Amino acid sequence: MAVLETERLTLRPLTPEDVDDLAAIYADPEVMRYFEGIRSREQTRQEVEEVMKQYARTGVDFLATIHKENGRFIGRCGLLWQVIDSAQEVEVAYMIDRPYWGRGLGTEAARALKEHGFRDFGFRRLISLIDPENVASIRVAEKNGMHYERDVEFEGYLCRLYAIMRDEWSR
């Protein structure tokens, strides 16, 4: 797994040592409003274990998002394999802890993931799946060059699908 660096962030593979920090983020109802509600430490631990297995299978999944200025774990983001309408897609996913909202860090992470997906993996297309009410996340996708394509049902939820093609990125 690659470690990605941006001006203000380090994106690295999740480890078991990240469980407590991630669980604290997942315990915040405001952060989790668009993500099926809060999660327990045990649910977080199980997710981190699954993510680590996914690294071995596909080379992509959630990454720890570390703020360089203070070394703090401030979220998780990544490239995720998803099945949408029977088609394999790769999602640019991002979640930043509430104290760090409004600073452009989600956009910075999303852009790094887009570059990584197109440059290092050669994906032909990337998507983001977003709750229609999550205006901040929609803005991140748009700043990342993605365009609204259509509404989809994903895991029982209505989502807006934003997408960007490799040829749009390479121009």
Domains of the chain: 4-170 (3.40.630.30)
Q: Is the dihedral of CA 133, 138, 140, 143 positive or negative?
A: negative
Contacts of 145 (CB under 8 A, 6+ apart): 114, 164, 168, 169
Residue-wise pLDDT tens digits, 29-58: 999 999 888 999 999 999 999 999 998 888
**Average confidence score pLDDT of the chain:** 94
Helix (H, G, I), strand (E, B) or coil at 14: coil
The first and second tokens of residue 168, run together, are 């749009």
pLDDT in tens, 109-150: 999 999 999 999 999 999 999 999 999 999 999 999 999 999
Strands 9-13 and 4-5: antiparallel
- Summarize the confidence of residues 81-107 as an average pLDDT: 95
- Percentage of the chain modeled with pLDDT above 70: 99
Residue with tokens 């078991």: 16
Residue pair 36/57 in contact by the 8 Å Cβ criterion: no
| Structure confidence at residue 156 (pLDDT) | 86
